[in-house]
Structure 1
C-alpha cells in the first residue's frame, strides 16, 4: 500500500460542498487533501443552473448565501472561476405573485439585503423577447451572480491547489478507520491517507462507506430535468438569472411572506407543475445557449431507483411549452438535455452526522448547494475544528 503523509483534514467528495470545506480549512492554515472518486465530476454540482441566488432562501440560509456571494467574488478577484455579476430577477405574472414580491421586498429591507421593485415597463425594457402579457412587476437583486458549473468547480480546484490543496481525483474511498486520535482513509487502488479529521460531503460516498446509516437516514433524492437551446443569435443577450411566477410560488424565501400560505392553498394539487415540481428558470450560458428548466421528482433513499435513469420527455415538453409563454427566444431548438440528482432532508435543512468523533458526514444540502455551500462551509469548519 502507498502510505501518504498526514493531513489535518481529508475531504471526501470534490463537489461544491466538499470543495468549499477544503477552501475554508486551507484559509485557516490547515493541511488539506481532497479525494474525489471521478476524474471528471459527474454529480449535482455540474448538473445545475449555476445561479447563486440568496434571494430564494429563507432567512437562515440567506445569511449563508450572502456570505457565499462575498466568497465567490473574492475568489474571482484573484482567480477566474467564471463568476458573472448580472443579478437575478423574479417576474410576477399575476396579482398574487405581485403581492408576494412586495412582501419579500419588505423582508429584504429588514434584512438589509438589496432588492429593487421594477415596473412592468422597466422589466420589459431589460429583457428582450419577454411576453408583455405575462409580466406584471418584478423584483431584481443586483448583487447576485452566475457561474458556469463545470468550469467553476474545475477552476476552483485549480485555485485551491495554488493554495496548497492536495487533490486526488479518480480515487474511490472504500474504508475509513479510526486509529487513536486520527483517521486512516483507504482507497480502492491501495492509497492510505491519514488525517486528524475526515469530512464526507458526497451522498454516494456516504452510501458506499456507511450503507446502513445511509439507508436509515432522513435523506430523500430529488431528480431534476433541464435543457439548453442551441446558441442564440449574437445580438441576443439575456442577463442574469430569470425566475418566474412558478419560482415565486416555490422558493423558500417566499414561504416567509404573510400571504404565501393562503396563496398556496388555492393551487390545484392535480396540475402538471405540481405533479412534476416544475418551475421555469432561464439563464444564458457563455456560449450563447439558453438553459431552461426545471423539474423536481422525489423518492426516499430506499426507493431512489424508482426515479429512473432516463429523461421524461413529457416533462421536457411541458417545460418548453411553459417557457414559450414567457419568452419569445429567437431559437428554441434544443441542443442538450440532462438530469441531475441531489439529496435533501425530509425535516432538517442539511444532514450532519459525526462518527467516532473525527469522521463527519455533511450532505443533503438539497438545492441550496451552489448558493449556500461556501457560506455554510465556513461556519462548519469553524465548528468542527473549534476555531
Structure 2
C-alpha cells in the first residue's frame, strides 16, 4: 500500500474498475477497495453482452468507445472478449418495421448494421424457427464477454501492466476529507489516503451515505437468468435478441413508429408485469444462457425484492425461448438473479459529496456496455485533464 494515492475507487465492479483503468492511463496511482473476496454484483451476474445497438444516442457513443477499449485490451491479454456480433430478430411486421427504422438511424449515427432477410437469419442461426422469424438486424462490431471471469482477468491485466493496487475483503465504513487529503477508513481500522475518492457501490446502499440513496430516485432491478446444459454439436454465434427486446430497448424509442406500436401492447401481459424479454448467448462451455426479467423496488426497499427465484418467470422464459430457437436441449443446469441500480429520471446517478468525494452508480443495464467509455469521459471531467 502506498502512503497516499491519487485516486481510490470503492467498489471493484465494471464501473469502478474502468474508472481506475483510465486514471492509471493518465499516470495516476490508483487503489481499488472491495468489501468482498471477489466482485459479486451485477458485473458478474449479467448476460455478458456489449451492445451499443440497444442504447440511446448518448450511451451508444459511450458504448462504441467501450468496444474499442475492450478490443484493445483483448489484443494484449485475454479477458474473454469475442467479436461475434449481435442480432435483433423480428417476429412480425411491426418489429420488422422498427429494425428497418433503426437501421436508418444507425446510418446517420455512423454505426454499422446490416439488415438480414428471413432466409439469411435461418441460415446463420442454427435451430431458429421459421414460424418465428421475419427478419433481422445484425451488428457485426459488437462483442460478448464471460461475466463470471471477465472482471477477474481485467484486474489481473491492470495489476500486471498498469500498476493497480487491488485490496479485497476491505470494507470501507467511512470516507472523509481532511487537510492532507481524503481518507477511507475500513472495518479493520485501516486508513487509505488519496487526493480523490470515487464510490462505485452498485446496489449496496446500506454502508456509505445511505441517507443520500434513500432520498434519491434510485431504484433496483432484479433480473432472472438461466443456463442450459452444454449443447452437443451446436453453435450459436453472438448475442441473439428477439422481438420483446426490440419492444424494450432504448434505441428503438428513437424510431418514428415506436410509440404507435407500443400503444397496441397489452398492459396486463405477463411479459409486461415482469419486464421479460428473451435473449440467447452461448457460453464458452457450449451451454446457452437465457434471459431475462425485471422486477423493481426503490433503493431503500431493496430487500423487498427477495432472494428467491420466481419459477413462473423462469418457466415463461423457457416456453417463449422454445418458440424462437429449437436447441438440442432445454435442460437447465443453473439459475440465478442479478441486481442493478438505476435512476428513474437520469441515465446515471452522480453525486458530489464534496470536490474530492464522488458517488457514481445507478448505471442500470448499461454497465457492461457503457462503463469503459463513460469512465474515460468521467475521469477527464473529475480531474480536469
Shorter-chain TM-score bucket reads over 0.9
Alignment equivalent of 2:383, drawn from 379, 382, 385: 385
Could you tell me how far 1:324 is from its partner in structure 2? 0.3
Q: Is residue 176 from structure 1 mapped to residue 175 from structure 2 by the alignment?
A: yes
Contact preservation (8 Å) 1:219, 1:301: yes
Matches within 5 A, 1:19-168: 19-162=17-160, 163-168=162-167
Could you tell me how far 1:302 is from its partner in structure 2? 2.4
What number of residue pairs does the alignment pair up?
A: 384
What's the counterpart of residue 285 of structure 1? 283
| Stretch moving more, 335-344 or 304-313 | 304-313
Q: Deviations over 1:223-266 (max 9, x none)?
A: 00000000000x20000000000000000000000000010011
Contact preservation (8 Å) 1:206, 1:361: no
Q: Deviations over 1:152-207 (max 9, x none)?
A: 10000001101100000111001111002610111111221100000001134553
Distance in 1 separating the partners of 2:206 and 2:295: 20
Contact preservation (8 Å) 2:205, 2:299: no
What's the counterpart of residue 228 of structure 1? 227
Distance in 2 separating the partners of 1:245 and 1:220: 26
Unaligned runs of 5+ in 1: none
What's the counterpart of residue 200 of structure 2? 201
- Aligned residue for 1:374, secondary structure, equals helix
Cα distance, 1:181–1:107 mapped onto 2, change above 3 Å? farther
Spell out structure 1 runs of 4+ moving beyond 4 A: none
Distance in 2 separating the partners of 1:240 and 1:9: 36
- Aligned residue for 1:288, secondary structure, equals coil
TM-score by length of 2: 0.98
- Aligned residue for 1:45, secondary structure, equals coil
Distance in 2 separating the partners of 1:68 and 1:83: 12
- Aligned residue for 1:85, secondary structure, equals coil
Q: Is residue 274 from structure 1 mapped to residue 293 from structure 2 by the alignment?
A: no
| Stretch moving more, 200-209 or 74-83 | 200-209
Distance in 2 separating the partners of 1:240 and 1:210: 40
Unaligned runs of 5+ in 2: none
Contact preservation (8 Å) 1:10, 1:32: yes
- Aligned residue for 1:376, secondary structure, equals helix
Could you tell me how far 1:307 is from its partner in structure 2? 1.1
